[in-house]
Amino acid sequence: MSKPFLIIGLGNPGSRYSETRHNAGFWFLDRLAQACGAVLRSQARLQAELARVDWRGHDCLLVRPTTFMNHSGQAVRAVMDYYRADATAMLVAYDELDLPPGVARLKRGGGHGGHNGMRDIFRHTAVHDFLRLRIGIGHPGCKDAVTGYVLGRATAEQEQLMRDAISNAIEVLPQVLDGDLSSAMKALHTETEHGL
C-alpha cells in the first residue's frame, strides 16, 4: 500500500461547534473535499472521517478527526500508524488566534503555539516537522476571553474573510504537494495580505 500525503483539519465534532472559529480547520478540509468531489466516511477504529483522493496527481488522504479538539492527536496517530505515514508528508490545518481573519499562513515545523489540538498531536507524534496551515481567526484582546471567543461564531464579515483565506490556501495546495513550499508560501501570503 502506497503512503498517501495526509491533509488533516482540526476542529470539534457535532453541530454545536460546526460554525465556531475553532473549527476553521474543519472548514478547510470540508472545502477541499468539496473541491475534490470527495465524501468523507467514518472509520471508527481510526477515530476519524477519511477520504482518499487524487488531487492534481497526488495521492492524498483527507482526515477529519472525530475526537474533540484536545484529543486530536489520538486520531492523527491512529491514521499515521495505519497508513504508515511519515510526519514530513502531512499538513495540519487549524485556527490561529495570532493572525487576523482573512490571513492564512503556511509553515513547516515549529511549536504548538498553545493550540490544544496541536499540543495533543505533539504528545502523540515524535516528529514535529510537519506542515501547518494556520487560518487566522483574530484575538479577543484578553486572555480570559479566549475560550469563549474560539468556541463562538465569527461575525459574517470575519467568517467571509476566513473562508476566502481558506479558498486561497486550497489554490496553492498543488504547489505544496509538488514540494515547492516557498512558492506556495509566497503566493498565499501575498494573496491573503492583499485580501484584507
Average pLDDT over residues 49-72: 95
Look up the CATH number of the domain holding residue 92. 3.40.50.1470
Domains contained in the chain, number: 1
Residues 6+ apart with CB under 8 A from 23: 11, 12, 17, 95
The catalytic site residues sit at 22
Q: Tens digits of per-residue pLDDT, 61-108?
A: 999 999 999 999 999 999 999 999 988 899 999 999 999 999 999 999
The 3-state DSSP class for residue 19 equals coil
d(CA 146, CA 149): 5
Indicate yes or no: pTM above 0.85.
yes
Residues 6+ apart with CB under 8 A from 182: none
Domain membership of residue 75 as a residue range: 5-194
Residue 182 burial (C-beta neighbours within 10 Å; 0-12, 13-18, 19+): exposed
- C-alpha cell at position 13: 465534532
